[in-house]
């Protein structure tokens, strides 16, 4: 009798909790995790912009700043670009009007307003379109990730795990400052001013750049900059 009551109680509690919302990135397909890679592509919403510059430094103090082009659908208020993707399961990529034609740095400061388990915010590098780019970011569990999106499927870089732990990253960081220093094929990832990882890509990490905000996530972007080293 006690076992029956306990089982009923567990069922009621599970129903009350509802379905756990994890990020679309976390649930997305990965290359190399099985002998038969999934056929479906990662659903990624893309906001494109024509590359017109190699330098941008936006702090969003002015509501007319447009580092992601005139068609960016998100509003600027409280000194930040409010990237509200909290009602959608698919990750979002915003591509900038600036790109790297040579070595340089790409930086972004995020404040997580609403975030699901394992949600990722990060920098997008070497973007051809929404299905081909390099992602360098962190999640809400204090882990970092550096992966390639190739044809809509996620692939590891240098054999790194999908999510790597670092004692330098706090659990549920809230505010995140990301910097990618690009030197040819090498990328130095700094989180909150600390060097976390250095990776080597197969090709020079040049081209269009932007930001990545996961599904079920609302992130306020306080600053975004693209600066060539020369």
Tell me the CATH number at 107.
Answer: 2.60.120.560
Alpha carbon 114 to its chain centroid, in Å, reads 14
Q: Is residue 223 part of a domain?
A: yes
Q: Is residue 38 part of a domain?
A: no
Model-level pTM?
0.80
pLDDT at position 39 is: 36
Q: 105 vs 17, 30, 152, 203, 210, CA distance in Å?
A: 43, 28, 25, 17, 12
Whether 52 contacts 216, CB under 8 Å: no
Q: Is residue 2 part of a domain?
A: no
CA 48, 199, 119: angle at the middle one, nearest 5? 55
pLDDT at position 171 is: 64
Q: Which alpha helices (H) appear in 89-160, and where do they start and end?
A: none
Q: Is residue 169 part of a domain?
A: yes
Q: Is residue 39 part of a domain?
A: no
Work out the number of other CB atoms within 10 angstroms of the CB of residue 224: 26
pLDDT at position 174 is: 76
**Spans of the chain below 70 pLDDT:** 1-49, 117, 129-131, 167-168, 170-172
What is the domain extent for residue 147? 21-32+46-228
Q: Is residue 112 part of a domain?
A: yes
Q: Is residue 16 part of a domain?
A: no
pLDDT at position 27 is: 47
pLDDT at position 34 is: 34
pLDDT at position 14 is: 37
pLDDT at position 66 is: 92
Alpha carbon 54 to its chain centroid, in Å, reads 21
pLDDT at position 48 is: 65
Q: Is residue 41 part of a domain?
A: no
Q: Give the span between the Cα atoms of 92 and 85, in whole angstroms.
A: 7
Structure tokens of 53?
């510059």
Number of structural domains in the chain: 1
pLDDT at position 170 is: 65
pLDDT at position 95 is: 92
pLDDT at position 23 is: 52
pLDDT at position 178 is: 96
């Amino acid at each position: 009798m006690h076992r029956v009551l306990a089982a009923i109680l567990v069922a009621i509690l599970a129903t009350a909790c509802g379905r756990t919302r994890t990020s679309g990135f976390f649930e997305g397909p990965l290359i190399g995790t099985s002998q038969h890679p999934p056929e479906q592509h990662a659903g990624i919403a893309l906001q494109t912009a024509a590359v017109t510059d190699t330098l941008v430094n936006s702090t969003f103090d002015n509501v007319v700043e447009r580092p992601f082009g005139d068609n960016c659908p998100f509003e600027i208020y409280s000194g930040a670009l409010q990237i509200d993707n909290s009602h959608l399961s698919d990750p979002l990529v915003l591509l900038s009007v600036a790109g790297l034609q040579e070595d340089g740095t790409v930086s972004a400061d995020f404040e997580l307003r609403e975030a699901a388990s394992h949600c990722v915010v990060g920098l997008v590098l070497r973007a051809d379109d929404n299905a081909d780019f390099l992602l360098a970011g962190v999640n809400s569990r204090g882990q970092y990730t550096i992966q390639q999106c190739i044809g809509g499927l996620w692939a590891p870089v240098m054999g790194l795990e999908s999510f790597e732990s670092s004692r330098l990253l706090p659990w549920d960081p809230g505010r995140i400052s990301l910097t990618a220093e690009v030197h040819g094929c090498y990328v130095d990832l700094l989180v909150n001013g600390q060097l976390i990882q250095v990776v080597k890509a197969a090709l020079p990490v040049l081209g269009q750049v932007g930001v990545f905000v996961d599904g079920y996530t609302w992130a306020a972007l306080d600053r975004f900059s693209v600066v060539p080293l020369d």
